[in-house]
Amino acid sequence: MIKKISLKINKQTIQADPDKNILEIARDKKIKIPSLCFHPDLETKNHCNLCLIKIKGEEQLKRACTTMAREGMEITTESLEIKEERTENLKKILNKHLLECDDCVWYQNCQLLKLTKEFNLEPSLIKDEEDKIFQSEAMVFDQTKCTGCGNCLNVCPTKFLELNKRGKIEASKDEKKSCINCGQCILSCPVGAIEGMGEFESLQKNFLDQNKIVVAQFAPSLRTSIGEEFGMKAGQINTEKLVAGLKKIGFDYVFDTAVGADFTTIESSQELIRRIKNNKKLPILSSCCPAWVEFLELNYPEFVSHLCSTRSPQAIMGGLIKNYWKSKNKIKKDILMVSIMPCIAKKQEIERKELRINNQKPVDLVLTTRELTRLFQKNKIDLKKIKGQKTDNPLGEPSGGGVIYGSSGGVFESALRAVYFQQTQKRLPLKNIKEIRGEKGIKIKKFKIKKQTIKICVVSGLKNAKKILEKLKKNPKLFDAIEVMACPGGCVGGGGQPLPSNKKIIKKRAESLYTIDSQKSIKSAPENPIIQKVYQEFLSTSQIKKQILHTEFSSKNKPKVKLLKNSKETLWPKQKL
C-alpha cells in the first residue's frame, strides 16, 4: 500500500498519493483549477498553461498537471498574478480557435467555451485564411479549431497526424502513414478540431419520407455508454431506454446488432476450426473491427489473407434485415438501414464494395453515439425520463456472447463458447477463459478442448497490434488465432463514444456488458433459437451464406486526403438516399 503524503492547497490540509499530480489531487478534492489540454491517460507535450499554481518557496508559477505531489507542499490556486497569467494564455488559445459550436463533438459540453465565459473573453469569429480543413475517408481534421496541444499525435497509432510550423494539425505526406478511421484522436482533442464524417442532417430528412421503412440497429457497447450523455453514471445499462428513444425519433423498427454478433460468432468459430484442422492460413485474424482491417490492408498486406472472411455484426444484420426480414414480413417499401455505432470506422466500412448484396449496401448510414445524442436532444428526448421498450423480433434477442463483443476479448470469448458448446454440448466455464477479459493491451491464453489446444492472443489497441505482427514475421506459428480491437478496451472505448472518455470510464462500460451477460439465460450463439431459426429458414445453402455472411479483403494504398471548404461539407459526394 502506497504511503500517503500531506500537503496544503489553499491552506486546506490534504492527504494524497505521491504518484499523482496536483491537478488530479485538486479534482479529487473538488478544488477548482482551470485546465484544457490535460487528459488523465496522456502525456501532453504542448501545454495550454491554464492550470497555473503558486508553490510556496518557488518564484515561478507552475503547471498543476505536471507538478507531482511532494510532502509538505503549500499551494495556492488563485491570486491576481495567477489570474492574469491564465487570462493571457487563454487569449492565445482563443486566437487559434474559430468559434463554430453547432457541429462540434463537444456540443453543450465544451470546456473552452466555459472558460471563455468565466474569464469574460471573446472567442474568435474570423477564419484565418492559412487554416485548412481536410478529410481522409470518414475523418475530418479542422485547423481552424486546432490549438496545437498535440494530444492527437500522442494517440494516433499510425503517426498520420503531425503539427505544422504554425502548430496546427496536418496530414503526413509519408505514403506509409495513413489514417485508419479509429477516431481515437477525437477522444483526446479538447477543442473539437477533429470529427467523424457527418450524416446527421441526411438522417433527419429521411424520417419524413413516407416511401421508406426506417430501421435502426445498435451496437453492443451503446447500452452501457449513451447514458453518460444524459448525466447518468458511466456503465449504467440503458438498453430499453435506448430502444424507446430510437422509436420516439421516428425509427419504425429497432434491432440489436449483438444478434448480428451471434451470426459472426457461428461463422468465425467454424472457420477457426476448419483452418486449424487443415493447418492453413494460421493464425486466423479477427475481422469485425474495420479500423484494424484497414490498418492491416494498408500496412501489413502479407497478413491480409489471414483475416477471417466472416462479415462484421453490423454488415450481417444489415444484410439479413434487407433480404431475410424484409421478405419474410412482405415489406414492399425501400428500407433505410441505419447503424448506431461507437465507431467512426464503421462509417467507412459500409462503403466497401465487397459488402454489397445484389449491388445494394447492407447499411445505408452510420451514426455515432454522439450523433444519436444530438438527434435525441434536437427532439427533446431525455433518456433519464423515457419509459423503456423492447427491441423488435426476431432480430432483437442476442446471447450473452453477442453482447460482450463490445469489450476487448469479447469476440474470442464468444467464439470459444461456441466451439466448446458445439463439441461438448456444455457451457464453457468462466475460469477457462476469464484471462482474456480486461483492459490489458496484450493477453495470451492456451485454450484446451478435448485433445485440441488453441493458442490465442487478444490485442487491445493498434500500437500493441504492431508488436504482435512484428513477432509474427519472425515466428508465424506463434499463435493459432489473434483478436484485435483498434480502440483501447474495445468498442467501449470507440472513437464515436461520449466525451469525455478515459480508462476508468471505459472499464466501467465494459464491466456492465459482462453484467448483462451474467444475467442472460442464453450464453452462446449456438444456443440462441433465433440464430437456429434464421439458418433453417434462410441461411440454408452455401451460396446464400457466402452472400450474406462472408466477404473478401485485399491490400490497399493510402487513401487520398482532400481539402474541404468547411467542416460541414463532409457527406460522401456520391451518397444518394
Based on the domain organization, do 177 and 304 belong to the same domain? Answer: no
Q: Please name the helix (run of DSSP H) or strand (run of DSSP E) that holds residue 561, with its range, or none.
A: strand 561-564
Q: Find the mean pLDDT for residues 228-255.
A: 96
For residues 103 and 162, membership in a common domain is answered with yes
Residue 80: band (very low, low, confident or very high) from pLDDT cuts 50, 70, 90:
very high
Residues 423, 273: Cα–Cα separation, whole Å: 11
Q: Which CATH number characterizes residue 116's domain?
A: 3.30.70.20
**pLDDT band at residue 451, thresholds of 50, 70 and 90?**
confident
Based on the fold, state whether residues 375 and 258 are members of the same structural domain: yes
The answer as to whether 205 is a domain residue is no
Indicate the residue among 57, 89, 121 that finishes a domain: 89
- 457 and 367 together in one domain: yes
Q: pLDDT value at position 432?
A: 87
Same domain, yes or no: 84 and 113: no
Domain-ending residue, one of 72, 89, 106: 89
576, pLDDT greater than 70: no
Range of the structural domain that residue 46 is part of: 5-89
Residues 17 and 142 in one domain: no
**Per the domain annotation, does 562 fall within a domain?**
no
Instruction: Express each pLDDT in 32-64 by its tens digit.
Output: 999 999 999 998 888 999 999 999 999 999 999
Clarify whether residues 267 and 152 are in a common domain. Answer: no
- Please report whether residue 207 resides in a domain: no
Residue 25: which CATH number? Answer: 3.10.20.740
Residue 340: give its domain's CATH number: 3.40.50.1780
Measuring CA to CA, which residue among 130, 113, 131 is closest to residue 122?
113
Residue that terminates a domain, selected from 171, 200, 229: 200
Domain assignment present for residue 249? The answer is yes
Beta-bridge mates of residue 253: 215
3-state DSSP helix/strand/coil % of the chain, to nearest 5: 40, 15, 45
In a domain, 509, yes or no: yes
Whole-model pTM: value is 0.93
- For residues 469 and 419, membership in a common domain is answered with yes
Looking at the structure, tell me whether residues 168 and 64 fall in a common domain. Answer: no
pLDDT tens track for 216-237 = 999 999 999 999 999 999 999 9
Residue 557 included in any domain? no
Mean pLDDT of the chain: 93
pLDDT digits (tens, 9 = 90+) for 479-524: 999 999 999 999 999 999 999 999 999 999 999 999 999 999 999 9
- Measure the CA–CA gap between 45 and 255, rounded to whole angstroms: 44
Residue 576 belongs to a domain: no
Could you tell me if residue 14 is inside a domain?
yes
Interhelix angle 542-549/257-278, rounded to 10 degrees, is 120
Confidence class of residue 549 from pLDDT cuts 50, 70 and 90? very high
567: CB partners within 8 A, 6+ apart: 100, 103, 133, 140, 142, 144, 145, 195
What 8-state DSSP symbol labels residue 390?
P
Mean pLDDT for the stretch of residues 262-286 = 96
- CA 391 to chain centroid: 23
The total domain count for the chain is: 3
Q: 263 with 353, same domain? A: yes
Q: Are 183 and 137 in contact (CB under 8 A)?
A: no
Same domain, 403 and 455: yes
Q: Are residues 290 and 382 in the same domain?
A: yes
Burial class for 44, CB neighbours closer than 10 Å (0-12, 13-18, 19+): buried
- Asked if the model's pLDDT at residue 574 lies above 70, the reply is no
- Convert 108-126 to b/e letters by CB count within 10 Å (16 or more is b): ebbbbbebbeeeeeebbee
